[in-house]
Amino acid sequence: MPIGNIRTHLGEALQWSPAGQAGGGDALVAAVAMAAPAALGFATSQPQAGIAAALGAMMATGATLSGGTVAGYLREQAWILLATVVAVLALSLLAGADSVSLSGTPTLLGAVVLAGVMGLAALLGGVGYGAAVLSVRFMLFLLLLRGSVAGAAGTDGALLFAAVAGGVLWCTLLGCLMMLSGPGRRPVGETLDQTRPALSWRRWWGRLRRYDGWHYPLRLLSGVALALVFEVFYPRWDLHWMALTVVLLSERRPVAVLSVKATQRALGTVAGVLLASSLLLATPAAWLLVLCIAVLAALRVLLRHRNYLAYSVIMTPLLVLMMDAAQPPDPEILPERLVATLAGVALVMLCNALLPSPRPVAAR
């Protein structure tokens, strides 16, 4: 890429948008929704359950009102609850079949099955915008559970299930209270029911007869499968972030080998992994971890529609805290996690390069 194009590319990555700003009330709801379950978990000596509930709340803080009504908001939250519950059930079934260890290390068969489940989710996400958002949340939640609380709390599947569902319901309750607290108040984030044209099941089925209907699922499936295979053959390395990075960086629409959004996500992910892992290596007190979760959750909402690079820098430490807060990492994990993150970026670029786009995409 010429020097001029690189400067333009980086300039677009650093550009801020004045649109889509969230209010202080929205940030407060996000902070309380995630920090309260985590604090309760630490206080009751059940940190894994508390983190599981915080993860459920995190998955539920991305919805907005559909049509400006409480009923519309509740419909979106119901779909989010369904996606998170299905992720818990899928992980439990895979573990019960001895294909994926709840500690997060898959067997070769488990890698194939887990990649297949995620590929199917990516395929079903092509039905419409709401389905696409839910499919990504499902995949992220599945990987986060596999790499964090499932290893310790998985011995009590009922507790894990209740904690996740409770986190979603707790966030929903706070959102409803905020909406009812004043006129025009609403959670800010990604809307599942957008005004943009949605694909029907019939149109989706028709697209599956063409290459463009399979392009994103194939790219994501290839990247995730390779990442999971690396985990199988190098079990002593902390490579969970490789598959997670593939899901975070893969875009549904056809993209260049390295798009502006992918650059923003990549830089933010690397910076976030370094910041959060360094914090956890200092073994901070539980109250400080809860405070960090609250601050990051609030900033995540405030930055989501302002600058995706800044959002990624905030979102990644939040994910790291969710994965490691209950079990602080070993100092040797930091370089391994950084390598896994960069390897995930390379896998996404490789899949973008090897699987041609359905239509020409201008390099950015």
**pTM of structure:** 0.80
Tokens of residue 287, six digits: 């109250």
Greater pLDDT, 72 or 353: 353
| pLDDT given at position 86 | 84
Q: H helices of the chain, where?
A: 3-14, 24-43, 47-60, 70-96, 108-124, 129-147, 150-153, 157-180, 201-207, 215-233, 240-249, 260-281, 286-303, 308-324, 333-354
Give the Cα separation of 67 and 71 in Å (integer). Answer: 9
Tokens of residue 329, six digits: 């990492």
Q: What percent of the chain shows pLDDT beyond 70?
A: 75
Considering only CA atoms, which of 267, 242, 249, 300 is closest in space to residue 34?
300
Residue that the structure tokens 């430490």 belong to:
317
Greater pLDDT, 19 or 58: 58
Handedness of CA 353, 356, 357, 362 (dihedral sign): positive
Average pLDDT over residues 256-280: 75
122 in Cβ contact with 214 (< 8 Å) = no
| pLDDT given at position 222 | 93
Burial class (CB in 10 A: 0-12, 13-18, 19+), 201: exposed
Give the Cα separation of 164 and 56 in Å (integer). Answer: 5
Give the Cα separation of 69 and 66 in Å (integer). Answer: 7
- One-letter identity of residue 230: F
Q: What is the largest CA-CA distance in the chain?
A: 57
| pLDDT given at position 59 | 84
Tokens of residue 54, six digits: 């915080």
The predicted-structure confidence for 291-344, as pLDDT tens digits, reads as follows 999 999 988 888 877 777 788 888 888 887 887 776 666 666 777 778 888 888
312 in Cβ contact with 269 (< 8 Å) = yes
List the domain boundaries for the chain: 12-354
Collapsing DSSP states into helix, strand and coil, what is residue 183?
coil
162 in Cβ contact with 111 (< 8 Å) = no
